[in-house]
Amino acid sequence: VQLQASGGGLVQAGGSLRLSCAASGSIFNIGVMGWYRQAPGKQRELVAVISSGGNTNYADSVKGRFTISRDNAKNTASLQMNSLKPEDTAVYYCNAHVYGLGRLYERDYWGQGTLVTVSS
């Protein structure tokens, strides 16, 4: 199973970016998918998560600005980021709780990370 994240880049404060994450491989289905971020010198933190049923949870710092969504049929998740701030600068990682074929196993997978830089 692989998670491929994309969509990072450089944007000015107040701008928008959309991150995408695609899971591929021997997948039965996926439970919670989410986005985390790690800024230089800081620990990785939760940004937003979404259940297979569409329930969402956001970090307080991004509520009202970021929106997470997913397409269960395509095993993808997206993060729409609006009103970006310099403090949003970080490497963003997607995460998925994957159930393998035949439900013989379940585990978390991480994408490779995509850099988001917000200039002031």
pLDDT tens, residue by residue, 72-118: 999 999 999 999 999 999 999 999 999 998 888 899 999 999 999 99
Whether 34 and 49 have beta carbons less than 8 Å apart is answered as: yes
Please name the amino acid found at residue 25: G
What is the C-alpha to C-alpha distance for residues 115 and 38, in angstroms, rounded to an integer?
Answer: 10
List pLDDT tens digits, range 32-67: 999 999 999 999 999 999 999 999 999 999 999 999
Collapsing DSSP states into helix, strand and coil, what is residue 29?
A: strand
